Structure formats: structure tokens, C-alpha cells
């Protein structure tokens, strides 16, 4: 489904203080870009290269960004992918003249990976830092190949950014695909009650997320062919969740019982210093999470880097 959208076509210029709004398509974008899949090996290499990045984020100097953008990246175990990702993304996003921060949301090993839950937590955590307008839900193993793929959110509809992927032979696998990299305004995310928390392991949460968009009477915007191209980093195939079709089939009745509104967690300090540990409160039992469910969530990659 590929609806029409006008959000990014409007060319309003406003002044905030002495700075003008950053251009819609910043000067210096070139379209197709080279993707470097080489691991920079150390966190220090990235920190030195991107010394301008503070607390995982960036604010353009000479203009006011059109939106404040939080990039949410669920994470577990793939340190090498994360270094490659950050090395690529910071250059990419700064060039787009966005005010943004990258949030790495890490999950403890106690339960199977739950991508949707981690996005819900990341959304709430990011809003404690800043009044973000736009959220990008991003896999760590996907790297944009075209800098005209602007990481902002159309105000009138959700956006699917990762239209064609290297590991799918650069084809969209099916029209309702909304996985990989997607973007929503704060209001749109609240209107779909975020992601379901019920999908553990691989698969299903992105299709449920798409269904929620439809049930909220929205449609998905995709950029023109060639812009939404992504390189993929290789990894061992994750374990598919065999229960996903059953959970998906109950998605509509669960939409307002299972999602953003039902993610509760409390903050705890741990001996692991910079890593913060979250535990859902017992209410989360109602959305299928066990009582011993725990998540480690470094708010930004500096937290993950620690003193290394």
C-alpha cells in the first residue's frame, strides 16, 4: 500500500530565534552513497571520528531542524553490527541536518528477543529526554544506501523507509511489509498503541504493527523507487516464533490491551554501573510478559560503551 503524502512537500520557512528552518532537502545530499561494512573495531575509533556527537545526539549549528528525531535501535549481542551501524548512521544523519539522537535499547538474556517491547520502552525513555516529534524504528543490521531517504516523519501518515533490502534481492517482499526501518510521529505511534509486546523471537511484530496502522485508519507512505534501498549485514538466522500467526490473528482484539500503554517498568541501579536495568511491574502479566522479565536498557550508545 502506497498512499499519497504531502507532509514533506510543504516548503514553509519559519524563523526561530535567529536561525532559519533547515532546508527540506539539505544541500550536499548526493543520492546514492557508499556503505562501509567494515567494523571500526573499537568504540574509541567511533568516538574520535564523531566527537561532535554528544549523548548520542546532534543538533545542526546553522539552522533549526524541522523535527526532533529519535532513532530507536533494539539490540542484543551484535556489537560489531552496532559499531558499523553507528559509523554509517551518524555521518548519514548529520548530513541531513537533523536534530536527532540514536537510542540503543538492549535486552537482557533472560527472555527471547522482543523487538516490539524494546521499541515501546525506547519510545518512553526517549520522551524523558526531549519532546521528540518523530521516531524511527530501526534494525541494527540495515544501512541506508541513499541519502535522499530523509529520516523525518510525514505528519499525515507513517513512513516505511526500508523499501528494498539487499538480503531480499532489492525487492519489496509483500505490499504490507512494514519491517526493517519505519517511522512515525509521536501522535501516530500513540494512535496505534505502539507495538505489541507479545511477540518473542523472530517475526510477526512488524506485521501486527502494519495491521495497527490499518486499524487506526492510516496508510503507509513509501519513497519513490531507488531511495529506500538498504544494505544488509549478515548474521545467523534467528529462531522463528511458531506462535506468531496465532498472536497475529488476535491482533485486532488485543490492540488496546497490548502495546505502548501497557509497558510498565521501573528503573533500578545495578552493579553493572552504566547499564540500567528495567523490570516490568506485575501489570505486564496481562500482556504476556513473565514476572521475572527483565531488560537492560542503555539509553544511548555511550552507556553501552561505558569506560571502554
Stretch that binds Mn ion, among 98-106, 120-128, 141-149, 220-228 (CB under 5 A): 141-149
Task: Pick the closer one to Mn ion by CB: 72 or 287.
Answer: 72
In this structure, the strands spanning 68-75 and 19-20 are unpaired
Task: Pick the closer one to Mn ion by CB: 99 or 141.
Answer: 141
CA dist list (Å): 270 to 25, 274, 290, 296: 44, 8, 21, 10
Say if CB 262 and CB 256 are below 8 A apart. no
By beta-carbon distance, which residue lies closest to Mn ion? 141
Task: Pick the closer one to Mn ion by CB: 141 or 206.
Answer: 141
Task: Pick the closer one to Mn ion by CB: 133 or 141.
Answer: 141
Task: Pick the closer one to Mn ion by CB: 115 or 222.
Answer: 115
For residue 234, the minimal CB distance to Mn ion (Å) is 9
- Coil/strand/helix, residue 259: coil
For residue 68, the minimal CB distance to Mn ion (Å) is 27
| Location of C-alpha cell 513512513 | 159
Cell of 256: 488496546
For residue 118, the minimal CB distance to Mn ion (Å) is 14
For residue 141, the minimal CB distance to Mn ion (Å) is 4
CA neighbor of 119 nearest in space, from 206, 58, 54: 206
Q: One symbol per residue from 152 to 191: x for binding Mn ion (CB under 5 A), - otherwise; what is it? A: ----------------------------------------
For residue 144, the minimal CB distance to Mn ion (Å) is 15
Stretch that binds Mn ion, among 61-69, 133-141, 240-248, 299-307 (CB under 5 A): 133-141
Query: What's the length of the chain?
Result: 308
279 binds Mn ion (CB under 5 A): no
- The secondary structure element, H or E, covering residue 138 is strand 134-138
Say if CB 247 and CB 199 are below 8 A apart. yes
CA neighbor of 139 nearest in space, from 163, 112, 162: 162
Task: Pick the closer one to Mn ion by CB: 135 or 230.
Answer: 230
For residue 235, the minimal CB distance to Mn ion (Å) is 6
Which residues within the stretch 247-266 sit at the binding site for Mn ion (CB under 5 A)? Answer: none
Stretch that binds Mn ion, among 137-145, 157-165, 173-181, 269-277 (CB under 5 A): 137-145
Cell of 15: 524563523
Out of 99, 133, 141, 145, point to the residue binding Mn ion (CB under 5 A): 141
Task: Pick the closer one to Mn ion by CB: 120 or 231.
Answer: 231
Cell of 275: 547499564
Stretch that binds Mn ion, among 81-89, 90-98, 136-144, 150-158 (CB under 5 A): 136-144
Stretch that binds Mn ion, among 105-113, 138-146, 149-157, 179-187 (CB under 5 A): 138-146
CA neighbor of 23 nearest in space, from 11, 41, 40, 35: 11
**Residue 268: how many other CB atoms lie within 10 Å:** 10
Binding footprint of Mn ion, residue count (CB under 5 A): 1
**Residue 222: how many other CB atoms lie within 10 Å:** 21
Which residues within the stretch 226-245 sit at the binding site for Mn ion (CB under 5 A)? Answer: none
Say if CB 85 and CB 46 are below 8 A apart. no
Say if CB 138 and CB 106 are below 8 A apart. no
Binding site for Mn ion (CB under 5 A): 141
Amino acid at each position: 500500500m502506497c498512499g499519497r503524502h504531502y507532509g514533506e512537500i510543504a516548503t514553509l520557512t519559519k524563523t526561530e530565534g535567529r536561525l532559519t528552518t533547515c532546508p527540506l532537502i539539505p544541500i550536499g545530499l548526493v543520492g546514492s552513497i557508499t556503505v562501509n561494512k567494515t567494523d571500526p573495531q573499537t568504540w574509541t575509533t567511533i568516538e574520535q571520528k564523531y566527537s561532535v556527537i554528544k549523548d548520542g545526539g546532534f543538533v545542526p549549528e546553522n539552522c533549526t531542524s524541522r523535527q526532533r528525531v529519535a532513532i530507536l535501535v533494539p539490540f542484543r549481542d551484535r556489537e560489531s553490527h552496532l559499531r558499523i551501524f553507528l559509523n554509517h548512521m551518524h555521518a548519514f544523519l548529520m548530513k541531513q541536518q537533523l536534530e536527532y539522537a540514536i537510542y540503543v535499547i538492549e535486552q537482557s538474556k533472560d527472555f527471547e528477543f522482543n523487538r516490539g517491547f524494546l521499541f515501546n520502552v525506547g519510545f518512553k525513555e526517549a520522551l524523558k529526554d526531549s519532546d521528540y516529534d518523530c521516531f524511527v524504528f530501526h534494525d541494527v543490521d540495515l544501512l541506508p544506501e541513499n541519502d535522499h531517504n530523509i529520516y523525518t516523519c510525514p505528519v499525515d501518515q507513517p513512513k516505511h523507509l526500508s523499501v528494498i533490502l539487499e538480503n531480499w534481492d532489492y525487492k519489496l517482499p509483500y505490499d504490507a511489509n512494514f519491517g526493517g526501518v519505519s517511522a512515525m510521529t509521536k501522535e501516530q505511534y500513540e494512535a496505534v498503541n505502539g507495538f505489541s509486546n507479545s511477540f518473542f523471537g523472530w517475526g510477526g511484530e512488524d506485521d501486527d504493527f502494519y495491521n495497527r496502522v490499518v486499524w487506526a485508519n492510516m496508510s503507509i507512505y513509501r519513497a519513490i523507487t531507488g531511495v529506500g534501498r538498504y544494505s544488509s549485514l549478515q548474521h545467523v538466522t534467528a529462531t522463528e516464533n511458531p506462535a506468531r500467526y496465532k498472536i497475529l490473528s488476535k491482533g485486532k482484539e488485543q490492540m488496546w490491551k497490548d502495546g505502548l500503554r501497557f509497558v510498565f517498568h521501573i528503573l533500578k541501579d545495578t552493579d553493572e554501573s552504566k547499564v540500567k536495568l528495567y523490570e516490568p511491574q506485575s501489570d505486564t502479566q496481562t500482556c504476556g510478559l513473565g514476572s521475572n522479565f527483565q531488560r537492560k536498557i542503555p539509553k544511548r550508545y555511550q552507556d553501552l560503551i561505558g569506560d571502554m
